[in-house]
Amino acid sequence: MTLDEGSPAEVPASFDDVYAVSTELVRAVETALDEGRPEEVRELLAPLRAADVADLIVVLSREDRLGLVGALGDDLDPETMVDLDGSVLAELLGAMSPQAVANAILELESDEAVHLLEDMDEDRREAVLGRVPPPDRAAVLEGLSFPEDSAGRLMQRELIAVPAYWTVGQVIDYCRDTDELPDEFYEIFVIDPRHRPIGQVALNRLMRTRRPVLMREIMAGEATTVPVDMDQEEVAFLFQQYRLASAPVVDDAGRLVGVITFDDAAAVLEEEAEEDLMRLSGVSSETDLLDSALRTTRSRSTWLLLNLATAILASAVIAMFDGTIEQIVALAILMPIVASMGGNAGTQTLTVAVRALATRELTAANALRIVGKEVVVGGLNGVVFAVLMGLVAGFWFSAPGIGVVIAAAMIVNMVVAGLAGTLIPLGLARAGIDPAVAATVFLTTITDVVGFFVFLGLAALFLL
């Protein structure tokens, strides 16, 4: 349809008008695949961008994913695979021939090629790389040689680096004439004779400067360099902290070996946030939703077994006071309230502390102040809810003593929850353990054990 001259363009009314992967599209693709109409599949996917095709692949069943790969054939955009990971990416790569994977690698930046190959088994990886021309193969192998989750794995080797004595005109002519430009770049790096970065020039500044001006005269000399072995989470923090568009990556000698761009750093931030959220819930796999039932059961059972052990410990504490519970049945009714309030208060503190550690807002410099604040918050909340629950329990069972005991136990447990919610992640981080991995289990154990012990202990002392 052609718009009349001067008529306004149609404005999307909602998110559903902009986002391409609708339920109707998914159903249409599934039907076309089931009925063996690959031409219709290609027509349905033709208007979609690579990221949309990746989302579509994720929501399809395993059989339909493989059918989609077969239907698209050479029309499958390699960028689509860059937006996938885990078991879904492994399924797609497994369905493609080594030559097809090699062809995809040739169309991608080196960091994206590394992403495709890093989890592939050794024999198949060699079969793929054997079909890749030597220069491209060397770049991918270099990327794979760096530690997992390091800047070396994250960086791309395609960049523009020029000497400081070049003029703006020379740089522009070079960019126009060379065939080895990155697909996307935001800054040009200025290097010294030893190939060490000494500055960088943003493209907008380059384009606004006259041709005879030397690069050294317009470069920003405070480049934030990234060591090649730096952890990718630390790299992402630098991008967030200093609002970087790109950053040069250097080796041990300070030589420029690659570049990391803000989209790579943003992907790491998203990945780390998802990983922390999953681990706080005791789920270790970022593809848990898409894994097979057996694999998901196996990954979750480890944490459930650990939780079972801590639950037995809490039950052992209750067993110490079985005689008290037999005499005062109301205690059995009220026990879960004390433990639950402490656990929920501790989880609030723990979530804030884990996030603050990740963003460097909680450090050794301010740890004492933050711990003190959370203890005060736990105490104040404890007093408020202790008074409320104490009155409810006293009237409920017509026993003021029970109200006083549960009130005192709630105050103690919520203070302990605030203390544990900050000290546990701090202690795990100091020990070199990701706080998101085990903090929840420790916190639940402490609040349950302390809650039951204090509540039943006070009841045994003052009510019998």
Report if residue 401 sits inside a domain: yes
Report if residue 6 sits inside a domain: no
Q: Is 71 found in the same domain as 176? A: no
Q: Is 269 found in the same domain as 192? A: yes
d(CA 157, CA 137): 12
Q: Is 192 found in the same domain as 93? A: no
Report if residue 3 sits inside a domain: no
| Dihedral sign for Cα atoms in the order 212, 216, 222, 223 | positive
Q: Are 185 and 198 a contacting pair, CB within 8 Å?
A: no
Helix-helix angle 62-72:38-45, to 10 degrees: 90
Domain with residue 359: its CATH number is 1.10.357.20
Give the residue from 246, 251, 224, 233 showing the smallest Cα distance to 150: 233
| CA terminus-to-terminus distance, the chain | 85
Structural domain containing residue 95: 15-154
The residue out of 280, 314, 342 marking a domain boundary is 280
Which pLDDT tens digits describe the chain residue by residue (464 residues)? 444 555 555 655 567 667 778 889 999 999 999 999 999 999 999 999 999 999 899 888 888 988 998 888 888 899 998 888 888 888 888 888 899 999 999 988 888 889 889 889 889 999 999 999 998 899 899 889 999 889 999 999 889 999 999 999 999 999 998 877 887 888 999 999 999 999 999 999 999 999 999 999 999 977 789 999 999 989 999 998 888 889 999 999 999 999 999 888 888 888 777 776 666 666 655 555 566 667 766 766 776 777 778 778 888 888 888 888 877 888 889 999 999 999 889 888 988 888 788 777 888 888 899 999 999 999 999 999 999 999 999 999 988 999 999 999 999 999 999 999 999 999 988 888 878 767 888 888 899 999 999 999 999 998 87
Give the residue from 358, 374, 359 showing the smallest Cα distance to 428: 358
Which pTM was predicted?
A: 0.69
Report if residue 224 sits inside a domain: yes
d(CA 240, CA 180): 29
pLDDT at 281: 61
The residue out of 280, 303, 327 marking a domain boundary is 280
Report if residue 8 sits inside a domain: no
Q: Is 58 found in the same domain as 23? A: yes
Q: Is 124 found in the same domain as 62? A: yes
Q: Is 248 found in the same domain as 303? A: no
d(CA 261, CA 387): 54
Using DSSP, state whether 110 is helix, strand or coil. helix
Report if residue 10 sits inside a domain: no
Report if residue 9 sits inside a domain: no
Structurally, the chain folds into a number of domains equal to 3
Q: Is 195 found in the same domain as 96? A: no
Q: Is 314 found in the same domain as 440? A: yes
d(CA 431, CA 444): 20
Domain with residue 53: its CATH number is 1.25.60.10
* Mean pLDDT over each residue of the chain, to the nearest integer: 86
Report if residue 287 sits inside a domain: no
Q: Is 304 found in the same domain as 210? A: no
Q: Is 338 found in the same domain as 217? A: no
The residue out of 125, 154, 183 marking a domain boundary is 154
